Amino acid sequence: MTRVKSVIGTHDSVMRRQGEATMKSIATLTKMFFVVAALTVTISAQQIGNPTTQQGVLPQRGTFVIRNARIVTVSGADIENGSVVIRDGKIAAVGATVNAPAGAQTIDGRGLSVYPGMFDAGTNMGLVEVPQGASGTVDTSEVGEFNPNSRAIIAVNPHSAHIGVTRVEGITNVVSAPTGGLISGQAAVINLLGTSPNEMAVVPNAALVINYPRVGGGGGGGFGGFQQQTNLAETLTANERQLDQIRKVLRDAEAYGRARDAYAKDSSLPRPNLNVMLEALVPYVRGLQPVMFRADREAEIRGAIKFAEEMKLKPILLGGDDSAKVAALLKEKNVPVILTGIFQLPNREDDAYDLLYETASKLQEAGVRFCISSGDPGMEARNLPLYAGMAAAYGLSKADALKAVTLYPAQIMNVADRLGSIEVGKMANLVVTDGDLLEIRTKIKYLFIDGREVPLTSRHTELNDAFKARK
Amino acid sequence: MRRFISTLVLYSFISTLPLTVTRAQTSANPNETLIKNATVLTITRGVLPNTDVLIRNGKIAGVGKNLQASASARVIDATGKYVMPGIIDCHSHSMLDTINENTLAVTSMVRTRDVINPTDVDLYRELAGGVTTLNLLHGSANPIGGLNTVVKVKYGRPADEFIFPGAMPGIKFALGENVKRSSSPNQPGVTRRYPNTRMGVEETIREAFSKARDYKKTWDEYRAAVNKGEKNLLPPRRDLQLEPLVEVLEGKRYVHAHCYIASEILMLIGIADEFGFKIKTFQHVLEGYKVAKEIAAHGAGASTFADSWAYKIEAYDAIPYNMAIMTRAGVVVSVNSDSDERARRLNIEAAKAMHWGDLTEEQALKLITLNPAIQLGIQDRVGSIEVGKDADLAIWNGHPFSVYSRVDSTLIDGDIFFDRQQDLARRADLAKERATLEQADPNKPPAQGQSPNAPRRRPRAHEDDDVWEGERP
């Protein structure tokens, strides 16, 4: 699904070769880098990554009480003048009046609003730092078509500069997903704070990611003007063939799971050898964990719904450009949608100009479960509130727009017991603002992740501080 | 499958249809329009609540309270709405059928004017974001690229009517990774195009201007001799590559220079100072904040992004505070799209300069109105709401800096080119038309034999010249 827009008249095959060329030059650079790094340790931290916002030690989980603020709980009514208590990483109390524990640090919330942290359920956060011209920093897409055992949580770089840049805008959680092949791998739900992937993990293996075969081939990209003319009949056959391949892998995983369980009960049966690929698929083919299907066009969305039903999977739609056209079916089958295309141009020339702006409101009207994602690899996931705002400009209520980037993604990713709203017992991922969380002019005043007060600094604030006074 | 095939065939068919509805909606062309009771963001005279804007013959004829129009005037009740000048996008590749003549390092002889396509549907989508003027630039494949075209987005009209009369002619320069062809592979047996480094980029531009200076001298000497009355002189041979560079040297053509990192910005300032010309705008200029005082001292403008950091190495140090830092250093700054997608929401891109860097609302509004107008030499015509200026306006249902606002209508020279209510009203008819076309004989699959080839999709190479759109997660 690589969507590299380039530069100067390149196309797919050229891009691949270019990748190899870049790899070589990166390897040379890397050698040089290690020579330099051996001379001075401090330089290494300043190459790709934050100069100083990299955190080797997390802020402590503190006891805080935010007083006299507007509390936007999202799950319930707003509290116009209320308080929130944070303790041991959790929300300990919320209400018009609360009993603050002894020794709690008080934050004066007058004129401020408290929101749950935002949640972007469609990124590759931490898997790619600089996508173009630095392939050494790209870990999104494994070789081959079937990589269910390729797990995002293994490769998420906790020190990526994207993480700090994103969280200081009030986004505390993301799904980071791999992208390649037909079965891309497993996506993780992470906090945007931690010194290791494990510290960041909320659900390390949260969903399997399948690229539903796209009629016409490949991913969503394509370089205008260079596309091959394809024969429709052949195209459709190729499409069916890919689907059959996925079907076979999933059936194998079912059989493997049965054989494994049977052997566990009765060791006189043949012992199945461990197969890491099939092993990874077992919880998904048993419907215990959700499968994200990347699908944007109507035909693929319908296909994915049908396929998930046939295979008894628990589907989530990722992408969903045409989902409004399939709303009735999505509702009937209770398939939730992670909308990633709000800021894309409509796919067809005769589409209404606001088709993707208003898709969220259409899904809401039809009773389809959905959430709003930036669909961004990571660097610009910080714009998440603007995506929700655009949906609200085109029909979605402001309250639902807010839910679409807080509670709804938490529900869809099965972590609403911990994330997505301000309720006692949930993880203390909170944002304190001077205004409406989705408005661009609003500023973040305090940020808490896992009950830790996170400094509002990032690579960008540091470069700003370093240069703004240059005379 | 049948449906799929007919849908595909339909697309190719629809794209050739004339845009009859749009044309009808703009042909009324009343000479007088009164926009009543709006909040008017004038840009140069502050924010005026409960104010009318009177338009006569395509120009703003009055801005004030309780203005009177003739009985035949079109009246737009804008109570509760906001009126701002039409948005100016200082870096666009919309409606260009091709962007990069990438075979040579110096392509000042090619013109974007020759490849504009007035039927590009993205123009309509940009109108729906309040955009009225575009700076159509050549791509960034060459240290010295092709000539620009400034247009008004008169979607539905012939190409000639798009051209912005009196806009300063311009030319695209480019520095850095794209020019070095960093993303192009080495191909066996093919020599790489010079230059391959930022050193070579400097040398290429220096050489081109050295030639242009000599060429200009040759012509100056010839004209002087003719003026002295010398007879039977042969005029110098015209050089279409050097002529635009002579215009740059003479201050008759603006340079819009694509760049990213601080050192290459200083390099180009050095060359321009040496040859005695000015850079009108640095485009992208993502590290402009590191050399803001030098940009200001040269007198150049800057046209940048709030986003697009880290998508490639030369953009890794980009920060969203760039617009604010350069503005405070005294640089005339605009924020542009370089993308048909982003062009639809430049209001939000401008508002980002309030979020990151604390520009005032007026400063931020100028980033998409008066400042790009100055950068294109059209500030006497557009960029603010003042009597005598062109009636290029966007009417919003809320403040354009709110994420919850959208455009209700967009006017150019007093004509309505986008109107949300009309757009909504005609959707049912368009759906019917589409259904009819799907049933039409030419769109049915053949009863037997091979299925047809899928039609090519319309190229979207013009979406960006170099902005990487990212990998879909």
Is the same domain home to B154 and B299?
Answer: yes
The tokens describing B378, both together, are 């059209």
Cβ <8 Å between B406 and A394: yes
Is the same domain home to B303 and B449?
Answer: no
Q: Which residue of B has its CA nearest to A343?
A: B341
Is the same domain home to B319 and B197?
Answer: yes
Is the same domain home to B280 and B243?
Answer: yes
Domain boundary among A417, A434, A452: A417
Domain that holds residue B310: 87-381
Is the same domain home to A382 and A367?
Answer: yes
The answer to whether residue B264 neighbours chain A at the CB level (below 8 Å) is: no
Whether A1 is covered by a domain: the verdict is no
Q: What global pTM score does this model have?
A: 0.89
- Output the domain CATH number for residue A384: 3.20.20.140
Domain boundary among A380, A395, A417: A417
Is the same domain home to A77 and A123?
Answer: no
For residue B181, the model assigns a pLDDT of 81
The answer to whether residue B193 neighbours chain A at the CB level (below 8 Å) is: no
Is the same domain home to A85 and A192?
Answer: no
Give per-residue pLDDT as tens, A400-409: 999 999 999 9
- Residue B123 Cα, gap to closest chain A Cα (Å): 10
Is the same domain home to B80 and B150?
Answer: no
Is the same domain home to A345 and A411?
Answer: yes
Is the same domain home to A225 and A94?
Answer: no
Among A119, A123, A353, A355, which would you mutate to test the B interface (most chain B Cβ atoms within 10 Å of its Cβ)? A353
The answer to whether residue A434 neighbours chain B at the CB level (below 8 Å) is: no
Is the same domain home to A272 and A215?
Answer: yes
Check whether A253 has a pLDDT greater than 70: yes
Is the same domain home to B343 and B437?
Answer: no
CB nearest A122 (choices: B102, B341, B473): B473
Report how many domains make up chain A: 2
CB nearest B458 (choices: A4, A233, A349): A349
Domain boundary among A400, A417, A434: A417
Whether A225 is covered by a domain: the verdict is yes
The answer to whether residue A17 neighbours chain B at the CB level (below 8 Å) is: yes
Domain boundary among B381, B406, B430: B381
Cβ <8 Å between B355 and A380: no
Q: Burial code of A177-204, b = ≥16 C-beta within 10 A, e = fewer? A: bbbbbbbbbbbbbbbbbbeebeebbbbb
Report how many domains make up chain B: 2
Whether A91 is covered by a domain: the verdict is yes
Question: Which residues of chain B does A349 touch, with a Cβ-Cβ cutoff of 8 Å?
Answer: 11, 14-15, 121, 458
The tokens describing A453, both together, are 């007060």
DSSP bridge pairs for A458: none
Whether A34 is covered by a domain: the verdict is no
Is the same domain home to B303 and B437?
Answer: no
- Residue B13 Cα, gap to closest chain A Cα (Å): 11
Is the same domain home to B243 and B287?
Answer: yes
Whether B390 is covered by a domain: the verdict is no
Contact criterion met (CB below 8 Å) for A118 and A386:
no
Is the same domain home to B92 and B79?
Answer: no
Is the same domain home to A86 and A182?
Answer: no
CB nearest B468 (choices: A4, A161, A236): A4
Cβ <8 Å between B309 and A379: yes
- Residue A230 Cα, gap to closest chain B Cα (Å): 6
Whether A21 is covered by a domain: the verdict is no
For residue B14, the model assigns a pLDDT of 45
Is the same domain home to B303 and B450?
Answer: no
Among B101, B403, B406, which would you mutate to test the A interface (most chain A Cβ atoms within 10 Å of its Cβ)? B403
Residues of chain B numbered 116-135 and touching chain A (CB < 8 Å): 121-122, 124-125, 128
Average pLDDT of chain A, as a whole number: 88
Contact criterion met (CB below 8 Å) for A189 and A206:
yes
Whether A45 is covered by a domain: the verdict is no
The answer to whether residue B222 neighbours chain A at the CB level (below 8 Å) is: no
In percent, the amount of chain A with pLDDT more than 70 equals: 86
Domain that holds residue A312: 118-417
Cβ <8 Å between B458 and A122: no
Is the same domain home to A152 and A101?
Answer: no
The answer to whether residue B426 neighbours chain A at the CB level (below 8 Å) is: no
Whether A89 is covered by a domain: the verdict is yes
Is the same domain home to B300 and B319?
Answer: yes
Cβ <8 Å between A460 and B319: yes
Q: Which residue of B has its CA nearest to A293?
A: B473
Is the same domain home to B116 and B150?
Answer: yes
Per-residue pLDDT band for A45 (boundaries 50, 70, 90) equals very low
For residue A319, the model assigns a pLDDT of 98
- Output the domain CATH number for residue B232: 3.20.20.140
Is the same domain home to A217 and A146?
Answer: yes
Is the same domain home to A287 and A372?
Answer: yes
- Output the domain CATH number for residue A62: 2.30.40.10
Is the same domain home to A90 and A184?
Answer: no
Question: Which residues of chain A does B341 touch, with a Cβ-Cβ cutoff of 8 Å?
Answer: 343-345
- Residue A96 Cα, gap to closest chain B Cα (Å): 29
Cβ <8 Å between A3 and B461: no
SS (H, E, C) chain B: CHHHHHHHHHHHHHCCCCCHHHHHHHHCCCCEEEEEEEEEECCCCCEEEEEEEEEECCEEEEEECCCCCCCCCEEEECCCCEEEECEEEEEECCCECCCCCCCCCECCCCEHHHHECCCCHHHHHHHCCCEEEEEECCCCCCCEEEECEEEECCCCCCHHHHECCCCCCEEEEECCHHHHCCCCCCCCCCCCCCCCCHHHHHHHHHHHHHHHHHHHHHHHHHHHHHHCCCCCCCCCCCCCCCHHHHHHHCCCCEEEEEECCHHHHHHHHHHHHHHCCCCCEEEECCCHHHCHHHHHHHCCEEEECCCCCCCEHHHCCCCCCHHHHHHHCCCCEEECCCCCCHHHHHHHHHHHHHHCCCCCHHHHHHCCCHHHHHHHCCCCCCCCCCCCCECCEEEECCCCCCCCCCEEEEEECCEEEEEHHHHHHCHHHHHHHHHHHHHCHHHCCCCCCCCCECCCCCCCHHHCCCCCCCCCC
| Residue B312 φ then ψ, to 5° | -150, 170
Among B117, B362, B471, which would you mutate to test the A interface (most chain A Cβ atoms within 10 Å of its Cβ)? B471
- pLDDT tens across the length of chain B (473 residues): 444 444 444 444 444 444 433 433 444 446 999 999 999 999 999 999 999 999 999 999 999 999 999 999 999 999 999 999 999 999 999 999 999 998 999 999 999 999 999 999 999 999 999 999 999 999 999 999 999 999 999 999 999 999 999 999 999 999 999 999 877 777 888 888 999 999 999 999 999 999 999 999 999 999 999 999 999 999 999 999 999 999 999 999 999 999 999 999 999 999 999 999 999 999 999 999 999 999 999 999 999 999 999 999 999 999 999 999 999 999 999 999 999 999 999 999 999 999 999 999 999 999 999 999 999 999 999 999 999 999 999 999 999 999 999 999 999 999 999 999 999 999 999 999 999 998 888 877 776 666 666 555 555 544 445 543 333 33
How are strands ordered across the β-sheet holding B131-136?
Answer: B87-92, B131-136, B149-152
Whether A274 is covered by a domain: the verdict is yes
SS (H, E, C) A325-351: HHHHHHHHCCCCEEECCCCCCCCCCCC
Whether B110 is covered by a domain: the verdict is yes
Is the same domain home to A363 and A454?
Answer: no
For residue B452, the model assigns a pLDDT of 60
Q: How far is residue A356 CA from its own chain's centroid? A: 19
Among A123, A340, A349, which would you mutate to test the B interface (most chain B Cβ atoms within 10 Å of its Cβ)? A349
CB nearest B307 (choices: A229, A294, A380): A380
For residue B136, the model assigns a pLDDT of 98
User: How many CB pairs below 8 Å do chains A and B form together?
Assistant: 242
Whether B290 is covered by a domain: the verdict is yes
Whether B403 is covered by a domain: the verdict is no
